[in-house]
Structure formats: C-alpha cells, structure tokens
C-alpha cells in the first residue's frame, strides 16, 4: 500500500517536470495530496470510532481448555497444570500464573485488542476485584473438552462445571453492579469458547474409553455436546458468542511424536478428523445463529485450522525457525509436568518457535494467530 503510494507520487512528479507551467501544477498537486491526506485522516478516525461503539463489549468471558485457561487449574487437584517455571518466563514478573505458555494466552490477547484490559484473570483461586468482575474472567480449564469424559479423565472442569461457575459469577456481579447493569453486561459482552482439541487428541485417539464410537459418530457426539453448551450459555444470557474450531491436531508436536513415525510427520488422519469436526461444528453454529431457538444470538465460528496450518507449513513467512517441536526441553515430549526447570529448560529464543511445549503455542505464536483471526473476523 505504502509502496504503491510512493511510486505514484514519484511518477506524477516526473510527469510534472516535463510539462510547462510546472509551478502551478506543483501547487495544485500539493493541494491535492494535502486534501487526500486530510480526508484519509478524517475517514479513518470516523470509521474506528463507529467500529468501537458498535463492537466494544463491556467484558470478555472465556470458556474452554488450556488454550484459554489463565490459571483455573491451579485451584484443582489435577496433573494438568503449569504454575511453575519455565511456564510464564516472559509474563510480567516471570510469573507462572497457570497459563499454558511462556507469556500471554489468547484470552488476554483478545481482551487487550478489544481495549478491555491486558490480562483476563482466572475465576477460580483469584481474589477478584470489582474491576475484574465488571470486565470479565476466564472459566476455562486445561484438559477439558466438549465431551464431559475428556475433563473427567484428568480431573478438571467440564464445560458444565464452567457454566455452573458462570452462574455463581453472575450472582457476584449483581452484588457489585446491581441487577439491571449486571443483566446488561451479561447480554452485551463477548463470549469466547475454545475447546475440542482434547476430545480428539486425548480421549478419542489416545485412550480406549470412546472405542464404542467410530470417528464419525464420535464427532457427531462432540458437536451435539458443543451445541448443548451454546444453548445453555444462551440460556444464561449470553448473546455474542465466538466458538473456535479445532486446530490441525495432527501437526501438533505431541501428536507428531505419538503417531507421526520416525520423521515425526503430521498425522493426516488426525488433521482429517479436525477438518470433519470443524465442518460439522460450523454447520451447527450457522443453524443456531439468530434462530428462533436462540433469539438474539450472534454466533461466530472461528477457523483456527487454516491460519495455524499456514504458520506450521511456512515458518519463514512468520519469522519462525522451528514449528515442528516445542521450545521446552527436547520439544518432542515435554508438556505440563514434564516441562519444568529441573529436567527441561526453555529454548534460548522462544520467539523463534511457534510451539512453547508439545501442545501449546508461544506467546508470539498466539499473538500472530490472533492477529490473523482478528484480521479475518474483526473484533
């Protein structure tokens, strides 16, 4: 864009030099450019002001798994935790808050881009201020899925447990804001739902507990669970709900190690499972969106698969050196308890890695992923 403007300007000034009455047309040109710049200023200020008014929600509420958990699992008795170094090494104060990364996670990044706040606190185990309650929290719990069994297998919060906490939260919000304002906050805020990866990667492909399903019927079941969750969330007053699809599970470092052979290739069966799940989830979201069943709902399906696969396949385009293993330890095995300061140190420069451990992105990975998503879907 800038390059094109520069060359246009250059071309018009060479034209001018060859023309008679150059000074008059120069003045005229300066006038035109000044007007154009001024108009562009006015237009862009105007556009962003209206966009903000239309879309800036008072709060962000987050449900889902470790991609968006900001520390809820710290308060649970589970092995799916990471409140120790090197997790959080690039977070303010090098604080291992229970975020599954070296720094901020997508919940924080979205709240920040919305202009709400820089960090979304975990609902559990946090001393929540009035400001925290008024601007939103995360109920997400690392290791959960839409399938309740996924969370139960690792003793973390199911999506229904997270919804129960949301009900509890709403009572607290009413005490702080009054019933009327609390109702407004609940109905005009943004809800972010990110889960489903662990249903496929852990429960279906790794454990024997859902072997009575074939892949197709398991995916149908997961989408029914997702649909139930969206309905219940709407029943609690949510209207604007963004639901993320599954990433390319077969290219996540842990799955390359588990099933990608000696070369640790992407596992095409697992990626295909994500594609099928995403198509069914998107279809269901479109069906529910603004329907008579969910009046007033504005649902968005967020495709994580395409931008993340592009980052994995074209590291150089994003300034990454490594996208097939994590930054922590050897990068082919370490996650949560096995990524720790005693046996597995972080790599020297996490910003060169897309993945922080064998499941989760680095802060820079999440930043670039969220930038693409916001670019495509808006805020």
Ligand X SMILES: *[C@@H]1O[C@H](CO)[C@@H](O)[C@H](O)[C@H]1NC(C)=O
Contact residues for ligand X (CB under 6 A)? 71, 93, 95, 97, 285-286, 289-290, 298-301
Check: CB of residue 70 under 8 Å from CB of residue 97: yes
Check: CB of residue 63 under 8 Å from CB of residue 319: no
For residue 320, which of 328, 311, 330 has the smallest C-alpha distance? Answer: 311
66 is catalytic: yes
Per the structure block, which two tokens stand in for 228?
């139930």
Q: How many residues does the chain have?
A: 379
Check: CB of residue 80 under 8 Å from CB of residue 67: no
Q: CA 197 to CA 281: how far, in whole Å?
A: 13
Q: CA 352 to CA 354: how far, in whole Å?
A: 7
- Shortest separation between residue 235's beta carbon and ligand X, angstroms: 18
What is the phi/psi pair of residue 62, to 5°?
Answer: -125, 135
Check: CB of residue 248 under 8 Å from CB of residue 271: yes
Per the structure block, which two tokens stand in for 83?
């409140």
User: In the complex with ligand X, which residue's Cβ is closer, 299 or 308?
Assistant: 299
Active-site annotation holder among 107, 274, 297, 360: 360
357 is catalytic: yes
User: In the complex with ligand X, which residue's Cβ is closer, 20 or 295?
Assistant: 295
User: In the complex with ligand X, which residue's Cβ is closer, 141 or 255?
Assistant: 141
- Shortest separation between residue 290's beta carbon and ligand X, angstroms: 5
Query: Quick one: 44 exposed, middle or buried, by C-beta within 10 A (0-12, 13-18, 19+)?
Result: exposed
Active-site annotation holder among 48, 65, 66, 155: 66
User: In the complex with ligand X, which residue's Cβ is closer, 72 or 161?
Assistant: 72
User: In the complex with ligand X, which residue's Cβ is closer, 302 or 327?
Assistant: 302
Check: CB of residue 196 under 8 Å from CB of residue 145: yes
H helices of the chain, in order, are 2-18, 22-55, 106-113, 130-135, 148-153, 159-177, 179-188, 197-198, 215-235, 253-259, 268-288, 305-313, 363-377
Per the structure block, which two tokens stand in for 76?
């649970």
User: In the complex with ligand X, which residue's Cβ is closer, 87 or 366?
Assistant: 87
- Shortest separation between residue 282's beta carbon and ligand X, angstroms: 7
25 is catalytic: no
Q: CA 255 to CA 258: how far, in whole Å?
A: 5
Q: CA 99 to CA 7: how far, in whole Å?
A: 46
Beta bridge partners of 194: 64
User: In the complex with ligand X, which residue's Cβ is closer, 97 or 135?
Assistant: 97
- Shortest separation between residue 295's beta carbon and ligand X, angstroms: 12
- 298 by DSSP, 3-state: which? strand
- Shortest separation between residue 175's beta carbon and ligand X, angstroms: 22
- Shortest separation between residue 299's beta carbon and ligand X, angstroms: 6
- Shortest separation between residue 3's beta carbon and ligand X, angstroms: 33
- CA 360, 362, 367, 371 dihedral sign is negative
- CA 88, 89, 91, 95 dihedral sign is positive
- Shortest separation between residue 372's beta carbon and ligand X, angstroms: 18
User: In the complex with ligand X, which residue's Cβ is closer, 71 or 250?
Assistant: 71
Residues known to be catalytic: 66, 357, 360
């Amino acid at each position: 864009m800038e390059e094109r403007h520069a060359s246009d300007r250059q071309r018009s000034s060479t034209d001018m030099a060859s023309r008679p009455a150059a000074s008059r047309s120069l003045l005229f040109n300066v006038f035109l450019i000044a007007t154009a710049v001024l108009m562009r200023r006015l237009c862009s200020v105007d556009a962003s002001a209206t966009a903000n008014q239309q879309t800036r929600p008072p709060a962000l509420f987050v449900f889902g798994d470790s991609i968006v958990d900001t520390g809820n699992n710290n308060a649970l008795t589970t092995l799916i935790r990471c409140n120790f170094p090197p997790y959080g090494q690039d977070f303010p104060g090098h604080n291992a808050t229970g975020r599954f990364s070296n720094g901020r996670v997508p919940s924080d990044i979205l709240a920040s881009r919305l202009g709400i706040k820089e960090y979304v606190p975990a609902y559990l185990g946090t001393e929540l201020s009035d400001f925290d309650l008024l601007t939103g929290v995360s109920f997400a719990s690392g290791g959960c899925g839409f399938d309740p069994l996924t969370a139960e297998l690792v003793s973390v919060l199911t999506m229904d447990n997270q919804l129960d906490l949301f009900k509890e939260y709403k009572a607290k919000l009413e005490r702080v804001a009054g019933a009327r304002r609390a109702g407004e906050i609940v109905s005009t805020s943004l809800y972010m739902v990110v889960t489903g990866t662990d249903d496929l990667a852990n429960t279906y492909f790794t454990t024997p507990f859902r072997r009575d399903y074939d892949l197709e019927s398991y995916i149908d079941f997961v989408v029914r669970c997702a649909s139930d969750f969206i309905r219940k969330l709407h029943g609690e007053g949510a209207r604007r709900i963004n639901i993320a699809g599954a990433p390319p599970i077969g290219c996540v470092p842990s799955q390359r190690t588990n099933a990608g052979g000696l070369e640790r290739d992407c596992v095409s069966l697992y990626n295909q499972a994500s594609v099928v799940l995403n198509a069914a989830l998107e279809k269901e979201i479109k069906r529910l969106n603004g329907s008579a069943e969910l009046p007033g709902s504005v649902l968005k399906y967020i495709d994580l698969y395409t931008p993340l696969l592009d980052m994995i396949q074209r590291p150089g385009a994003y300034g990454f050196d490594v996208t097939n293993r994590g930054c922590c330890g050897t990068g082919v095995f370490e996650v949560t308890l096995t990524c720790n300061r005693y046996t597995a140190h972080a790599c020297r420069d996490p910003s060169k890695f897309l993945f922080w451990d064998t499941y989760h992105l680095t802060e820079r990975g999440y930043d670039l992923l969220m930038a693409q998503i916001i670019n495509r879907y808006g805020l």
